[in-house]
Structure 1
Amino acid sequence: MTDAAAPTRTVVVERELAWPPEKIWRALTQPHLIEEWLMKNDFRPDVGHRFSLRGDWGGVLDCEVLAVDPNRRLAYSWNHAHEDPAFDLQSVVTLTLTPTAAGSLLRVEQSGFRPDQRQAFGGALTGWPRFLDKLDAVVAQQA
């Protein structure tokens, strides 16, 4: 049994990209582009829209759009049901774009990891930098 009141952990990854927020926003919100850098999906940038992210490993993430501030901020739930409910992941991903002299600063924050979710936390720590490498390549192709 897990303690619901236990503090949770957060993964934060920041990346300076050589593109204006509008170009990055396209790749964050258009399903065919999201598929290229993240996962297959049925995303729509509408608050309350429920969608799935389908990983190459066969897993499915159940998500819901929580916030949309075009070219600035996007937030959605990132939930993964596990065979053993003790390992269920219920987290929130927030993507924030800030214009810079060189392009944009993209901040990715995934919050909600319980202390006993070391594997999921470690996966996010290593996964988000790889996803952002792919995102940068996708935006470059669209430029």
Structure 2
Amino acid sequence: MNDTSTQTRTVIVEREIAHPAEKVWRALTQQHLIEEWLMKNDFQPVVGHRFKLRGEWGGVLDCEVLAVELHRKLSYTWDHAHEDAAYDLRSVVTLTLTPTSTGTHLRMEQSGFRPDQTLAYNGARHGWEGFASALETVLARID
């Protein structure tokens, strides 16, 4: 019998973006730009920095920066405390930028969904697609 209680699922959204990695990086790390494509925040691209993401639905995510590799990789915790264990999410978001001949390959990954968190997992799959589209809109607008 396999113990599935320790197995987690990961949401991955990938996009080819027709902008250089430096520009994409700015949109991923500057507070006012993050607010436009993701959520209100007090983010700083410094390992160990604790910050909050505030959703339009009123929810607050507690986050901590885990990794910063300039123009290449950004990783942070994405935790949503909830009294109902099925909604109590402890996850990690990793954004990876890879330069391409036409711009940047962006990989958005959120890992740590427990098997009993189907609703949160499906919500994240839908949410990251929307975030990626919003990010592309922001990138098209900024210099």
Q: TM-score, normalised by structure 1?
A: 0.95
User: Which shows bigger deviation, 4-13 or 35-44?
Assistant: 4-13
CA contact (8 A) 2:4 2:115 kept: no
Q: How far off its partner does 1:84 sit?
A: 1.7
User: 1:112-138 CA deviation, whole Å, 9 max, x = no partner?
Assistant: 000000000001111101101110111
Return the alpha-carbon distance in structure 2 between the equivalents of residues 4 and 25 of structure 1: 36
**How much is the aligned-residue C-alpha RMSD, in angstroms?**
1.3
SS at match of 2:77: strand
SS in 1 for 2:6: coil
Q: How many residues align?
A: 141
1:1-143 matches, cutoff 5 A: 5-143=5-143
> Which secondary structure state, in structure 1, belongs to the residue aligned with residue 91 of structure 2?
strand
Q: Tell me the secondary structure at the aligned position of residue 44 of structure 1.
A: coil
Conserved 8 A contact 2:5-2:114: no
Moved over 4 A (4+): none
CA distance in structure 1 between the partners assigned to 2:15 and 2:86 by the alignment:
33
Report the Cα offset of residue 78 of structure 1: 0.2
Query: Shift of residue 83 of structure 1?
Result: 2.5
Deviation at 1:85, TM superposition (A): 3.5
Following TM superposition, by how much is the alpha carbon of 1:87 offset from its aligned partner in structure 2, in angstroms? 2.6
Query: In the TM superposition, what is the alpha-carbon distance from 1:111 to its structure 2 partner?
Result: 0.3
Partners in 1 of 2:119 and 2:139 — Cα distance?
30
1:72-129 Cα shifts (integer Å, max 9, x gaps) = 0000000001122443100000000000111000001100000000000001111101
AA of the residue aligned to 1:88: D
Cα distance, 1:17 vs structure 2: 0.3
